[in-house]
Amino acid sequence: MRQDSLTQPPQPLQLVLFRDDLRTLDHPALLAAREAGPTVAVFVFDEQSEGIRPLGAAARWWLHHALASLRDSLHELGIPLILRRGATAEIVAELSRECSPQAIRWNRRYGQAERAVDAQLKAALHGAGIDAHSYAGFLLHEPWELLTKNQTGFKVFTPFYNALRNAEIRPPLPRPSAQDPLDASGVRSDRLESWNLLPTSPDWSGGLRDTWTPGEPAARQRLADVLESIAGHYVDHHDRPDLDGTSALSPSLRWGHLSAHQVWDELSRHAAHSPAAAEGATALRRQIAWRDFCWHLYYHHPQLPTQNLRPEFDDFNWSGPTDSPEAADLVGGWQRGRTGFALVDAGMAQLWQTGWMHNRVRMVTASLLVKNLAIHWRVGEQWFWDTLVDADIASNTANWQWVAGCGADAAPYFRIFNPELQAKKFDPQGSYVARYAPLAIEPLVDLRQSRIQALESYNHMKSRQHS
What residues line the site for ligand FAD (CB under 6 A)? 238, 246-250, 253-254, 284, 287-288, 290-291, 294, 359, 362-363, 366, 384, 388, 390-392, 395-396, 399-400, 403
253-276 burial code (b ≥16 CB/10 A, e <16): bbbbbbbbbbbbbbbeebbeeeee
Residue placing its CB nearer to ligand FAD in the complex, 106 or 384: 384
Q: How many CB atoms lie within 10 A of CB 209?
A: 12
Using a 10 angstrom Cβ sphere, with 0-12 exposed, 13-18 middle and 19 or more buried, the burial of residue 453 is middle
Smallest gap from residue 401 Cβ to ligand FAD (A)? 9
Residue placing its CB nearer to ligand FAD in the complex, 179 or 431: 431
Residue placing its CB nearer to ligand FAD in the complex, 104 or 404: 404
For residue 220, give Cα distances in angstroms to 23, 83, 140, 197, 215.
Answer: 10, 24, 18, 24, 9
The HSE-up count of residue 387 (CA atoms within 13 Å, CB side) is 21
Residue placing its CB nearer to ligand FAD in the complex, 288 or 406: 288
Smallest gap from residue 271 Cβ to ligand FAD (A)? 15
d(CA 212, CA 246): 15
DSSP secondary structure string, 315-355?
A: G---B-TTS-HHHHHHHHHHHTT-SS-HHHHHHHHHHHHHS
For residue 275, give Cα distances in angstroms to 234, 237, 272, 413.
Answer: 13, 16, 8, 37
- Is residue 298 within 8 A of residue 394, CB to CB? The reply is yes
Smallest gap from residue 180 Cβ to ligand FAD (A)? 37
Name the pairing type of β-strands 103-107 and 131-135: parallel
Residue placing its CB nearer to ligand FAD in the complex, 384 or 458: 384
Residue placing its CB nearer to ligand FAD in the complex, 102 or 287: 287
Residue placing its CB nearer to ligand FAD in the complex, 106 or 255: 255
Smallest gap from residue 286 Cβ to ligand FAD (A)? 8
- Is residue 180 within 8 A of residue 78, CB to CB? The reply is yes
Residue placing its CB nearer to ligand FAD in the complex, 71 or 254: 254
d(CA 191, CA 311): 46
- Nearest one of 430, 420, 425 to 451, comparing CA atoms: 420
Smallest gap from residue 10 Cβ to ligand FAD (A)? 42
Residue placing its CB nearer to ligand FAD in the complex, 262 or 395: 395
- Is residue 343 within 8 A of residue 444, CB to CB? The reply is no
Name the pairing type of β-strands 39-45 and 103-107: unpaired
Residue placing its CB nearer to ligand FAD in the complex, 85 or 220: 220
Residue placing its CB nearer to ligand FAD in the complex, 74 or 288: 288
Smallest gap from residue 285 Cβ to ligand FAD (A)? 9
Smallest gap from residue 248 Cβ to ligand FAD (A)? 4
Smallest gap from residue 48 Cβ to ligand FAD (A)? 23
For residue 398, give the 3-state DSSP assignment: helix
d(CA 287, CA 263): 11
d(CA 204, CA 352): 9
Smallest gap from residue 230 Cβ to ligand FAD (A)? 8
Strand partners, 39: 14
Smallest gap from residue 7 Cβ to ligand FAD (A)? 40
The CA angle 204-207-210, to the nearest 5 degrees, is 135
Using a 10 angstrom Cβ sphere, with 0-12 exposed, 13-18 middle and 19 or more buried, the burial of residue 200 is exposed
- Please enumerate in sequence order all residues whose Cβ is within 8 A of that of 10, keeping only pairs 6 or more positions apart, or say none: 38
Smallest gap from residue 303 Cβ to ligand FAD (A)? 18
DSSP letter (8 states) at residue 187: S
Residue placing its CB nearer to ligand FAD in the complex, 108 or 360: 360
Smallest gap from residue 162 Cβ to ligand FAD (A)? 17
